[in-house]
Amino acid sequence: MRIGHLFLGLLLGGLGACGNTGGSLEKTTVTSQDSVTQTMRFPFPEIPATLTEPEARKSYLLTHYWEQFDFADTTLVNNRDVTEQGFVNFIALLADGTTPEELTRESLENWCAGFVGKEHARQVLTQTADSYLFNPNSPFYNEALYGMYLEALLSKLPQTDAMRSAYRFKLELVRRNNVGDKATDFVYYLSDGSRHTLAATPVKSNRLLLMFYDPECESCHEVLLQMAADTALAEAVRTGKLSVLAVYTEGNDEAWRKALPDMPGGWTVGNDREAVKTGALYDLKAMPSLYLLDGSKTVLLKDAAYEKIRATLAL
């Protein structure tokens, strides 16, 4: 899904022009380029012509964004060119860096209020939110916005709703180990059976690369190969510029020990005996999961790509 360029242009560039109401947007789509036509079929609210300032028009649009959308219409909900593209434009505006948090929360609450009582729409839209905001492979991956969405959803769900506990669990997971937080402590064991904790793990030069991994996971294997071949990383570990703690999170002790000879020298490699996963101490929705911590175990980067960690460390 792409963000409609005409749509964003009307919001970010041409909103100062008088008379650009929701109705005129409808007409614009008739003659606009094909790549924008699908986006414009979304039933945008009509922005009052009296609102001429871009900020005011954007605020009105986001507040009333879903009011003309019929959540009870299953055919409409199932039309990805309308529903999914409309959602993409919605979250792109919420996450553009200029939208006040109060407006973001109000807009999300209005959206959730529209679909919570419509079973099919709720199923489709909650899955859409998961796919776009909570999937680390999504270009729109945004845990902060996802957390606000979950808070909005919980505020609109009846207290007796069977899914409240599942949404609450996700929200608690999202809130853990964020940048600036103290990383959750856990116990891990080395190959000799000795017991250690994250909190007591020594850190060189105030930087610790924490990796949760599974050598039998294909993506983990690829990242491990990349890291093992990185001479700059190896030099940083050798010279004490960085410490690396790799923690196996699955329950197959034999598989973990079999792969130990392939792990790079200088790393601390442990087995948590499934404590992290069982206790949901960290979000392990995608493996490997990489964190950059300082010496006091404060999170500097959360669940970041190796390239980002590498750039941050200036390797």
pLDDT at residue 36 in the model: 39
pLDDT at residue 8 in the model: 53
Q: How confident is the model at residue 13 (pLDDT cuts 50, 70, 90)?
A: very low
- Whether pTM exceeds 0.85: no
Q: What is each CA distance from 261 to 63, 178, 238, 250, in whole angstroms?
A: 56, 32, 18, 18
Judging by beta carbons within 10 Å of its beta carbon (0-12, 13-18, 19+), is residue 43 exposed, middle or buried?
Answer: middle
CATH number for region 187-313: 3.40.30.10
Decide if 273 contacts 189 (C-beta within 8 A). Answer: yes
pLDDT at residue 15 in the model: 42
Nearest to 112 by CA among 59, 77, 157: 157
- In eight-state DSSP terms, residue 44 is P
pLDDT at residue 315 in the model: 86
pLDDT, mean of residues 142-162: 96
Q: Tell me the average pLDDT of the chain.
A: 89
Q: How confident is the model at residue 7 (pLDDT cuts 50, 70, 90)?
A: low
pLDDT at residue 2 in the model: 56
Decide if 28 contacts 40 (C-beta within 8 A). Answer: yes
pLDDT in tens, 30-47: 333 344 344 448 999 999
Decide if 74 contacts 118 (C-beta within 8 A). Answer: no
pLDDT at residue 137 in the model: 83
Indicate the range of 30-34, 146-150, 180-184 predicted with least confidence: 30-34
Burial readout 91-116 (b: 16 or more C-beta within 10 A, e: otherwise) = bbbbeeeebeeebbbebbbbbbebbb
Q: Which amino acid is at 315?
A: L
**Quick one: tokens of 74?**
């299953």
For the chain, which residues make up each domain, given as ranges? 5-175, 187-313
pLDDT, mean of residues 245-263: 95
Question: Alpha-carbon distance 295 to 199, whole Å?
Answer: 9
Q: How confident is the model at residue 1 (pLDDT cuts 50, 70, 90)?
A: low
pLDDT, mean of residues 84-111: 96
pLDDT at residue 43 in the model: 94
Q: What is each CA distance from 286 to 84, 108, 141, 144, 305, in whole angstroms?
A: 24, 26, 12, 17, 11
pLDDT in tens, 199-232: 999 999 999 999 999 999 999 999 999 999 999 9
pLDDT, mean of residues 192-205: 97
**HEC string of 247-269?**
EECCCCHHHHHHHHHHCCCCCEE
Q: How confident is the model at residue 90 (pLDDT cuts 50, 70, 90)?
A: very high
